[in-house]
Structure 1
Amino acid sequence: MFADFDLVMERLAAKRLWDFPGGVHPLDQKSLSNTENIADAPLPEKLFIPIKQHIGVDAELIVNIGDYVKTGQALTQSHSPFAVPIHASSSGTIVDITSHVAAHASGLEETTVVIAVDGKDNALNFEPLLDYTKCEKSELIEAICQAGISGMGGAGFPTHLKSNSNKPVEFLIINGVECEPYISADDRLMREHAWQIRQGIDVLVYLLSPKQVIVAIEDNKPEALETMSIACQQQDNYQVVSIPTKYPAGGEKQLIQVLTSREVPSNGLPIDVGCLMYNVGTCYAVADAIMEGKPLTKRVVTLTGNALTKPQNYWAYIGTPVADLLALAGYSPEKQAYPKVLMGGPMMGFTLSSVKIPIVKTTNCILAPADDELPSLEDERACIRCSACADACPVSLLPQQMFWYSKAKEYEKAEEYNLFDCIECGACAYVCPSEIPLVHYYRIAKSDIKQQKVDKEKAEKARIRFEARKTRLLKEKKARDEKHRLAAQARQQAMKSDSSAKDKIAAALARAKAKKAAVTNKASSTSEKPISQTNELSNAADKPTEPKADNTNAKDDKKAKIAAAIARAKAKKAQQQEKNKHE
């Protein structure tokens, strides 16, 4: 069922919402960290800032080792719309640009800028856009992009791209649900900074012109509901809605389904059903960028877990090592049989391979659980085919089958069961009586499939380049052969059409023949005479006599001279004709 706008508004007014399939109700454990105000985390000695902290493409570094940077100074730039810059979280000197372990479940390394902070926190002169309603929308979108803002609810999609939608928006949904257990960063942000969140919403409304704004908050956050209701009460088309507490109601597709009954299609986007969604933290960052001119250099991080003596929410500098924050919150490793720290909540978070990993824009929680607080991988047992995972899946998938095929690395089969529709919420693993870390297998399978596709694309590109080179070389060879053929043909044609050249050749041959005949005659006249004629020649030596002409040789010589003369005449005539032709 696709509910129209009027029906959705009618049900919202009557506080009658829809539901999504599956879901679970884990202990929220938010009281560990949400009772105190957000505190400021101190500056670390060094900031480790990865150059990519969002979904999209890498930007290009514009700084070098040894450069001094100020707070808010851009470290990267890019002309790609799928890239946002990163900024120096504080002032200091860049001491290294190197590969450093990244905030990712893989534990792989990424290019990272290392800044030795000077403790002064010298900032650039920021330029706010206070009267933003008089600015062009493109100017505001560019300001959001240059502020380095990406989705802070966990996905990390570049905010300026989502804010530049050309499709009509019926519902602008502000996500304050924060359904993950333990995490209370958004809860405290709404309690303490509701007005600034409202300013960010106003900017987005100016850019998108939605029919209705819905601020969704779970009913286990009464204080946040109250403060946001007060902040939004002056706007008639802003509505703060309390939704039932059920995990994962904060998922993008699930929340849209709860509020509007509309289902985002597989491989589709919320805008396809007339909705756009932003996290409350993203709205706060948008207000900072427009009203203050500040780029994104800090965010609220929940430090929680029973292995911490002082769990609390902190404003942490982007690039702060997790180890520094753990020390700030009183980490007690003796409460764990082996060190275990998660980035994110217990449902969707991942175990860190190192506490040197830095805080990034999408980091909302650092969880240090005590023993027996969370299940461990060692507890995994064989699947008993109980189907509890399928009942809990909010996307109506078949986790059991996806698990079998993912574990066996039969990835084509796993994809047939819509592996990539899995939102990795962890509800299936939460209810599994065999303690199988199902999401762990899905993540590995997705990563392998993506890598296979990348390798296939590389191989295909290499094949195309090879074939293009082969085709080019063959084409060049054919062109050379054709050039040579045409040149030879032109020479032959020129020889056929140029009679003077033929006559010259004939004249030269005739002269050579005449010269040869003359040499032959001379040799013949001076050759030795027979013995019988010796006396006769001796007696007649003193008598004057006329030599006898050699009629045969004379005739041949005369013919050669005539032929040479004719050849010269023909050559001269041909030259005269060629000259007349050009004139």
Structure 2
Amino acid sequence: MVDYTKYVLKNRDELEGLLAGKDNFFVVACNKCFKEFNTTEEPECGSFAAIAQEQGKHITGTVKVDFLCNKVQTEKKLSGIVPEGTENVVVISCGLGVQTVADLEAVPVFTATNSLNYTGHHGMALTKKTCGACAQCYLNVTGGICPIVDCSKSLVNGQCGGAKNGKCEIDPKKDCAWEKIYRRLEKQGRTKEFLDQPIQLRDYSVTNVDEIKAYVAEARAKRYEGFYGGVHPTENKEFTEHLALQKFPEPDTVIIPLAMHIGAPANPVVQPGDTVKVGQLIGEQAGFISAPVHSSVSGTVIAVEPHTHPNKGPGVMSVVIKNDGKNTLHESVVPNKPLEELTPDEIVEIVKQKGIVGMGGATFPTYVKLKPGKPIDAVLINGSECEPYLTADHRVMLEFADDIVFGLRAMMKAVSAPEGVILIEDNKPDAIALMEEKVAPYDNIRVCVAKTQYPEGAEKMLIKKVMGRQVPSGKLPADVGCVVSNTSTAKAISDAIQKGLPLVERVVTVTGEFIRNPGNYIVKLGTNVQEIIDHCGGITGDDVVLKMGGPMMGAPIKDTNVPIIKGSNGIIAIAADHTEEKECIKCGRCMDVCPMELAPLDIYKYAQLGDAETLLKLNVMDCFSCKCCEYICSSKIPLVSKINAAKGLVMPLLKKK
């Protein structure tokens, strides 16, 4: 495996020498590697342009390409984009990107950077080594072909004379690098320029080893800051982040599935003809990993029968209730004792009886988390809402901040945790300011502001970011002393304790480019998705994908005649992607962004081979389907579905152990 490379801008004297006698430059910069460390744009492109303009040079245009070293996508990106009149192309990237562009462009291609070296995965470096990352780049002299790597002897002043029929004397299967260099320079009319230049010397004193080591250490620290990997998809939160919560109109009928949580579905305790009230139990818990289900409306049960579930598909037992519109509360919906008077066991029992589950999408029964059987020293509230488009949790923080703090305090008491932390990404400054104000009276609660990065809200990523702890493979947050919950879950716990109200409604963001009137709504569980879409003005396009949740981990809505459930944080309507799947080019980008530090590329390979033993060694079960690998994959391989299939191969082995 080839080392990961990164670049630094050449010094000013070198750049002025590069610019001398040339003009009309088009600048190509590699943006992706830089963005893996930061969310801002690659900065060295601007630095070079400023120097060029000081020298009176004309820049015909600039373009920034993600992973410039990926020849397939770079060729598409650069096709027809270089303006007429461009005489030279300058590349801001490591040597891999420079050579990729040099292979594609007819005009001379020069690099404004020197490549450095550190371990990791990077672009096409996983397939063929083309850059030595020597920090003393010769590509400007050799037409964009690296003599250090491509020449078997790493000669920098011309060929050795031993080549025969254009093949290297050391490796007869390999083309002579210097013959390739001569041919390219001749084609560009630069042969005399090369022959007239001074003899090139590899001056190892030019490279300050200590400086490179310091750079490497800094880069690695940034890479592992918070958590490994992740991506920065376009946020698209501007549609709804400014819109206050609205009460969704009362539905005429609700269809409430008895499976709105991870674990065993609840058992129905009502039958057709029964009169029910808001908060009344309609499905009792059916096991340890299960949760009770309550009516979200008052009215009459008209059926207990299978219906289509938004995630599980057809055939899920559900309770259908005709709403009388009165919202009559059940007698059990009464406030509990003050938090100070409740014991930890009483808090857990309230959370259990009121059907509280994780509302970030996972829907794991919350009471189970509050009975970890291990010492817990921190309860973490996930306010990151890192999925694009969704703003439900953001609005909950802005409009129910006191309830979130109350719910956090209740969870801390339930598990005897001395510390509480609310993590919020830095793209929500209003929520950060408000939550900091609300936690100020509590010495043991703080707000942690995190750089926006997906999937920050995943439990293991959040723990790594906030606490600096790594949850081992196959282990749970409690194994490192943490309990993680969602902002909306904390609010639901507050409602359960202070009002006695079970989980019967939730905030849903309805958004996307193809929703006519986006918004954030407080919706009764069991409300029909199509009714919500219609209320928002409907869909404005034809080639549209509907999802329950965000674009990354959300489930496609194939049938809009399905209900809102406990984990439904959003309905989005976005453009369909018809990009065809192509063969894997082994670029390694999936490995670079996997927050669990897995190797999706290898998992994909061994799943095709049916090698369950190797898949187990590759920790395939640690994948939580964040889809970072799919997002970054230039071949558009549906890696998550293939990884899920690989898990199926491994399950029989796990059952034997």
- For residues 181-260 of structure 1, the aligned pairs below 5 Å read 181-260=388-467
Q: Max radius of gyration: which structure?
A: 1
Question: What is the CA-CA distance between 1:65 and the residue it aligns to?
Answer: 1.4
Q: Which has the higher contact order (CA 8 A, sep 6+)?
A: 1
Q: What residue identity is the alignment partner of 2:623? A: C
Q: Aligned residue for 1:370?
A: 575
Question: What is the CA-CA distance between 1:102 and the residue it aligns to?
Answer: 1.3
TM-score by length of 2: 0.63
- For residues 156-175 of structure 1, the aligned pairs below 5 Å read 156-175=363-382
Among candidates 380, 389, 399, match of residue 600 of structure 2: 399
Deviations for 1:494-544, whole angstroms, at most 9, x for unmatched residues?
xxxxxxxxxxxxxxxxxxxxxxxxxxxxxxxxxxxxxxxxxxxxxxxxxxx
Among candidates 104, 107, 111, match of residue 313 of structure 2: 107
Q: Aligned residue for 1:386?
A: 587
Deviations for 1:97-153, whole angstroms, at most 9, x for unmatched residues?
12111121x534311111121222222132211423223332222111111001111
Once residues 231 and 445 of structure 2 are traced to their aligned partners in structure 1, the CA distance between those partners, rounded to angstroms, is 29
Compared CA separation, residues 79 and 431, structure 1 to 2 (3 A): closer
Question: What is the CA-CA distance between 1:253 and the residue it aligns to?
Answer: 0.3
Contact 1:152/1:361 (<8 A) preserved: yes
Deviations for 1:175-198, whole angstroms, at most 9, x for unmatched residues?
111111111111110011101111
Q: What residue identity is the alignment partner of 1:200? A: G
Among candidates 278, 289, 295, match of residue 485 of structure 2: 278
Q: Aligned residue for 2:550?
A: 345
Question: What is the CA-CA distance between 1:435 and the residue it aligns to?
Answer: 1.5
Among candidates 452, 472, 475, match of residue 268 of structure 1: 475
- For residues 296-375 of structure 1, the aligned pairs below 5 Å read 296-333=503-540, 335-337=541-543, 339-371=544-576, 375=577
Q: What residue identity is the alignment partner of 2:254? A: L
Once residues 324 and 377 of structure 2 are traced to their aligned partners in structure 1, the CA distance between those partners, rounded to angstroms, is 48
Q: Aligned residue for 2:322?
A: 116
Once residues 646 and 277 of structure 2 are traced to their aligned partners in structure 1, the CA distance between those partners, rounded to angstroms, is 42
TM-score by length of 1: 0.71
Q: Does 1:179 align with 2:386?
A: yes
Q: Does 1:97 align with 2:314?
A: no
Deviations for 1:213-249, whole angstroms, at most 9, x for unmatched residues?
1111000100110111111110011111101111111
Question: What is the CA-CA distance between 1:208 and the residue it aligns to?
Answer: 1.9
Question: What is the CA-CA distance between 1:23 and the residue it aligns to?
Answer: 1.0
Compared CA separation, residues 23 and 317, structure 1 to 2 (3 A): same
Aligned-partner SS, 2:372: coil
Q: What residue identity is the alignment partner of 1:181? A: P
Q: What's the C-alpha RMSD, in Å, of the aligned pairs?
A: 2.1
Q: Does 1:427 align with 2:634?
A: no
Q: What residue identity is the alignment partner of 1:63? A: V
Q: What residue identity is the alignment partner of 2:259? A: K
Compared CA separation, residues 70 and 23, structure 1 to 2 (3 A): same
Aligned-partner SS, 2:545: coil
Q: Kindly indicate which of the two structures has a greater share of residues assigned to helix.
A: 1
Contact 2:412/2:418 (<8 A) preserved: no
Once residues 479 and 653 of structure 2 are traced to their aligned partners in structure 1, the CA distance between those partners, rounded to angstroms, is 27
Q: What residue identity is the alignment partner of 2:495? A: D
Deviations for 1:3-33, whole angstroms, at most 9, x for unmatched residues?
xxxxxxxxxxxxxx94211111111111111
In structure 1, list runs of 5 or more residues that go unmatched. Answer: 1-16, 458-583
Among candidates 334, 345, 365, match of residue 127 of structure 1: 334
Contact 1:342/1:367 (<8 A) preserved: yes
Once residues 426 and 611 of structure 2 are traced to their aligned partners in structure 1, the CA distance between those partners, rounded to angstroms, is 42
Question: What is the CA-CA distance between 1:446 and the residue it aligns to?
Answer: 3.8
Q: Kindly indicate which of the two structures has a greater share of residues assigned to strand.
A: 2
Deviations for 1:243-272, whole angstroms, at most 9, x for unmatched residues?
111111111101111122211111111111
Question: What is the CA-CA distance between 1:290 and the residue it aligns to?
Answer: 0.2
Once residues 42 and 448 of structure 1 are traced to their aligned partners in structure 2, the CA distance between those partners, rounded to angstroms, is 46
Deviations for 1:81-112, whole angstroms, at most 9, x for unmatched residues?
322110111012111112111121x5343111
Contact 1:185/1:313 (<8 A) preserved: yes
Q: Does 1:145 align with 2:145?
A: no
Contact 1:107/1:353 (<8 A) preserved: no
Contact 1:253/1:270 (<8 A) preserved: yes
Once residues 152 and 448 of structure 1 are traced to their aligned partners in structure 2, the CA distance between those partners, rounded to angstroms, is 30
Q: Aligned residue for 1:520?
A: none
Q: What residue identity is the alignment partner of 1:167? A: K
Compared CA separation, residues 437 and 47, structure 1 to 2 (3 A): same
Q: Does 1:82 align with 2:289?
A: yes
Contact 1:45/1:117 (<8 A) preserved: yes
Question: What is the CA-CA distance between 1:430 and the residue it aligns to?
Answer: 0.8
Among candidates 421, 440, 444, match of residue 641 of structure 2: 440
Contact 2:310/2:563 (<8 A) preserved: yes
Question: What is the CA-CA distance between 1:442 and the residue it aligns to?
Answer: 2.5
In structure 2, list runs of 5 or more residues that go unmatched. Answer: 1-223
Once residues 117 and 26 of structure 1 are traced to their aligned partners in structure 2, the CA distance between those partners, rounded to angstroms, is 41
Question: What is the CA-CA distance between 1:415 and the residue it aligns to?
Answer: 3.5
Once residues 346 and 259 of structure 1 are traced to their aligned partners in structure 2, the CA distance between those partners, rounded to angstroms, is 25
Aligned-partner SS, 1:29: coil
Among candidates 237, 241, 251, match of residue 30 of structure 1: 237
Contact 1:18/1:261 (<8 A) preserved: no
Aligned-partner SS, 2:427: coil
Contact 1:61/1:76 (<8 A) preserved: yes
Once residues 424 and 520 of structure 2 are traced to their aligned partners in structure 1, the CA distance between those partners, rounded to angstroms, is 19
- Between the two proteins, what is the percent identity of the paired residues? 38
Compared CA separation, residues 309 and 408, structure 1 to 2 (3 A): farther
Question: What is the CA-CA distance between 1:76 and the residue it aligns to?
Answer: 1.4
Question: What is the CA-CA distance between 1:453 and the residue it aligns to?
Answer: 8.7
Once residues 33 and 405 of structure 1 are traced to their aligned partners in structure 2, the CA distance between those partners, rounded to angstroms, is 42
Q: Does 1:58 align with 2:265?
A: yes
Q: Aligned residue for 1:19?
A: 226
Compared CA separation, residues 133 and 330, structure 1 to 2 (3 A): same
Once residues 237 and 503 of structure 2 are traced to their aligned partners in structure 1, the CA distance between those partners, rounded to angstroms, is 26
Compared CA separation, residues 66 and 449, structure 1 to 2 (3 A): farther
Contact 1:336/1:370 (<8 A) preserved: no
Once residues 175 and 289 of structure 1 are traced to their aligned partners in structure 2, the CA distance between those partners, rounded to angstroms, is 19
